[in-house]
Amino acid sequence: SSSPITVSDTLDSYPTDPNSHIGSASNSFQNESLLGGGNESNNGSDGEFGFSRPEFRLIRLAGTVQYYERHVFLCYKNPSVWPPRIEAAEFDRLPRLLAAALLARKGDMKKETRLTICEGHDGTETSNGDVLIFPDMIRYRRLTHFDVDTFVEEVLVKDGEWLPGTPETLKGSYVFVCSHASRDRRCGVCGPPLVSRFRREIELHGLQGKVSISPCSHIGGHKYAGNVIIFGPNINGEVTGHWYGFVNPEDVPALVEHHIGKGETADWIWRGQMGLSEEEQKKSLEQRLQVSGEINAEKSTKELTQRQMNEVNTATCGSQLDLIGCCQGEGNSYCQNSALPENIDTQDADERAVKVTPEKK
């Protein structure tokens, strides 16, 4: 079986940026602007690699996430300096050694584990060397390449604690957007505008400090770019990791309001979920759509019933007005006849009373 550790993917073909000079160690980190990871316009046209590309949303998404149980993120630099593969020799020692250690100890781990790189900035909530672990919702600070073997042994193999560091509890939601331009140009084009839109929406809803947004390295499925993973508690308080594909900036408000805000999945762009097999992901979506269809049908029935009741009530009120107008006149022989002329409905009560009351002889 293929490794659950996302350090390479031989099945994915990926159009790399022809302007990238990241082929050798000597120039991997000298010119960060070469990859243009933060500049959408330098990564290719939207029509060819972005949200308007021909295959966008033409592929079924549900069931496209390989089964795994734990996701490890290493905060390290930014997309413009990430080589195509994080285990590559030209990458810095920390990510390269961590990827190698995870692969070497794969058979000793009780949980299927993925490793992904996310953006790191020293002096922030995601400083270089910080490690985030989901669904555990913990962070270890300032891992170095000297600590890699011990960290993997104690935390990921033994499921214990790394003694030099104290795990911090993560709160809120964590959003990761694949922006790995050197690995695939589609991710390089789609990722940055999604990150920007998420940050604007988070600010708009006043969720700063409650929702973290970060670009990340390859997570699998370049053809589904924009790729987004959201970790956080669901309505039952259980931490989940939902994957989305073919996400465009117009989808972001719904993801913020419904997924992050209410714990409701955006099924039209849902790829799968951490902890579910590919078949379970498909069944999960089918069940949700069935329930959603039943709820919508029930809602439509209720709305129709209410509308019909309102129409009946309106008609009844009109009949009562007719009778009231009739009986207020002198002589009530016409009051027993409810079949009044239809054109009377457009007249006011007083006028009707005059016309339907017989003249006294």
For 80-103, give the DSSP string.
Answer: GG--SSTTSTTS-HHHHHHHHHHH
Quick one: pLDDT at residue 315? 60
Q: What is the DSSP letter of 153?
A: I
What six digits make up the tokens of 131? 């490690």
The pLDDT mean for the chain works out to 80
d(CA 80, CA 29): 9
Query: Is the pLDDT reported for residue 349 higher than 60?
Result: no
**With contact defined as beta carbons under 8 Å apart, do 27 and 236 qualify?**
no
Q: What is the DSSP letter of 279?
A: H
Quick one: pLDDT at residue 175? 98
Sequence spans of domains, the chain: 25-287, 308-361
Rounded mean pLDDT, 4-25: 41
d(CA 258, CA 274): 19
Query: Is the pLDDT reported for residue 107 higher than 50?
Result: yes
Q: How sure is the predictor about 218, in pLDDT bands with cuts at 50, 70 and 90? A: very high
Top-tier CATH class for 25-287: alpha beta
Q: How sure is the predictor about 117, in pLDDT bands with cuts at 50, 70 and 90? A: very high
Supply angle C-alpha 24, 26, 32, rounded to 5.
Answer: 90
d(CA 236, CA 111): 23
Which residue would you say has higher pLDDT here, 168 or 126?
Answer: 168
Q: Which of 136, 144, 33, 129 is nearest to 79 (CA)?
A: 33
Q: Cβ neighbours of residue 173 under 8 Å, at least 6 residues apart?
A: 210, 211, 212, 230, 231, 232, 260
Q: How sure is the predictor about 25, in pLDDT bands with cuts at 50, 70 and 90? A: very low
Rounded mean pLDDT, 158-168: 89
> What is the Cβ-side half-sphere exposure of residue 220, based on CA atoms within 13 angstroms?
24
Which residue would you say has higher pLDDT here, 158 or 36?
Answer: 158
Quick one: pLDDT at residue 224? 98
* pLDDT tens string 49-93: 999 999 999 999 999 999 999 999 999 999 999 999 987 877 799
Of 10-14, 67-71, 210-214, give the lowest mean pLDDT range.
10-14
In DSSP terms, 72 is beta-bridged to: 115, 133
pTM for the full model? 0.74
Query: Is the pLDDT reported for residue 43 higher than 70?
Result: no
Quick one: pLDDT at residue 305? 64
* pLDDT tens string 266-302: 999 999 999 999 999 999 999 999 998 877 766 666 6
d(CA 255, CA 231): 12
Which residue would you say has higher pLDDT here, 292 or 151?
Answer: 151
Of 32-41, 83-92, 141-150, give the lowest mean pLDDT range.
32-41
Beta-strand runs (E) in the chain: 70-75, 113-118, 131-134, 138-140, 168-169, 173-178, 211-216, 228-233, 239-244, 270-273
What six digits make up the tokens of 225? 């770019």
Phi/psi at 210 (nearest 5 deg)? -110, -20
Query: Is the pLDDT reported for residue 330 higher than 70?
Result: no
